[in-house]
Structure 1
Amino acid sequence: MDLKEGDKVDLVIGVKSMLGYSVLIDETYEGLLYNDDVFSDIEEGMKMVGYIKKIREDEKIDVSLRPQGFRNVIDSDTEVILNKLEEKGFLLLTDKSSPEAIKFHLQMSKKAFKRAIGSLYKDKKIILKEDRIELVQ
């Protein structure tokens, strides 16, 4: 197998199961995209870019739609939040918002959201208010 964890690959979405979606990786390997890693609508037959998350001992492959590695993920998430803030000036989301609300508005998990706003706050790019997040002017 010429794949390694973190590799960027082409995916074709397959059948949905209780765990997630079967995927065809680079038209050669079979893999699994877990439901927990899906933050937008996908359908059988869709082609998308993915990343090798883990290659298990039994040679089964887990994939993600997001780049692997803390810095890659957090940069991507902060960019999404900054784009939304530049568009609207504020977001009616906080660290107390429900995971469903965060997923609906930003297509990311609550954990990813909290990491990204923590990074943006530390970099003094956002202001955290009781009921919203605002972009520093």
Structure 2
Amino acid sequence: MILIGEYNNFKVSKKVDFGYYLENEMEEEVLLPNGSLNNKKIEIGDKIEAFVYRDSKDRVISTLKTPLLTVGKIGYLEVVGQSAIGAFADFGLERDAFIPIKEQIFKLKTEKKYLFYMYLDKTDRIALTTKIDAYLEFAPEEKFKVSDEIEAVVYESGYNGTLKVAINKKYKGIILGNEHFEYLYPGQEVKARVKRIYEDGVIGITTRKTRLDERDLLSREILQYLRENGGFMPFNDKSSPEDIKNTFNTSKNYFKIALGGLMKQKLIAQDKEGTRLI
């Protein structure tokens, strides 16, 4: 049986003007067009591995080119087009992969990359879905430890700012709402560190720096803000968390810690109006 969307083992059975015919052990044939040889030379009788898919005319063909994704796998692909019934993503071959509207749990944007799972639809055509949660793996117990630096891709937004992420585009992870201050959107790649490993194997991560690193960075940002605004800012340790987050992209607690450090260094002074450079 020829498997669409996957690599198949074939024997080169015959040559024609427009390519080669490949044959599997069940004597099923599929065309390998000349344009899909990928600069490789083959001969009658050669045993080869080729990827099978449907071309733009819906014919089952094979290729020696390497797709970016195969059926049953998750990949990070760029959206290259939109239509009334779905979108299209480039997976490295002449024909783009289709993402039906019903398989989009968020609005896809052209020229942006997202994580997709590739499957075959009811008509045996390659398709993609953003519903990847069920296909991600739980990380082995020894894979990560607290404080490890990792890379992840956001794939779903939840309540209270919680985000589901795929670590290394493979393992289930989560960022709680209080573990990120910046707006992170589906498809965005982030650098983070492991904060907690849950009993079910989900990896809790944070984009926040360690307390010491965040305090030092925030202190520099506060001083820069003061210098750029005439040595004054209308914020102090009594300011609202919302104003602090909107201006400095941090929590009120971290803001107060940074202010305290700067006051100990006698670099700033606070009053009821705000904070001033000394």
- TM-score tier by shorter-chain length is 0.7 to 0.9
1:104 maps to 2:215: no
Scaled by the length of structure 2, what TM-score is found?
0.46
User: Structure 1: which 5+ residue stretches go unaligned?
Assistant: none
Higher strand share: 2
The residue type paired with residue 85 of structure 1 is: L
Per-residue deviation at 1:56?
A: 2.3
- Write the distance in 2 (CA, Å) between the matches of 1:87 and 1:122: 22
- Write the distance in 1 (CA, Å) between the matches of 2:227 and 2:172: 39
Larger RCO of the pair (alpha carbons < 8 Å, separation 6+): 1
Aligned positions, number: 135
- Say whether the 8 Å CA contact 1:6–1:67 is kept in structure 2: no
Question: Where in structure 2 are the equivalents of 1:6-85 lying within 5 Å?
Answer: 6-19=147-160, 20-68=162-210, 70-85=211-226
Assess, with a 3 A threshold, how the Cα gap between structure 1 residues 83 and 14 changes in structure 2: closer, same or farther: farther
Deviates more, 1:80-89 or 1:7-16: 80-89
Per-residue deviation at 1:48?
A: 1.7
Per-residue deviation at 1:134?
A: 1.6
Assess, with a 3 A threshold, how the Cα gap between structure 1 residues 82 and 3 changes in structure 2: closer, same or farther: farther
The SS at the match of 2:178 is helix
The residue type paired with residue 82 of structure 1 is: L
1:130 matched to which residue of 2? 272
- Write the distance in 2 (CA, Å) between the matches of 1:90 and 1:8: 37
Higher helix share: 1
- Say whether the 8 Å CA contact 2:180–2:208 is kept in structure 1: no
1:86 maps to 2:227: yes
Q: CA RMSD in A?
A: 1.6
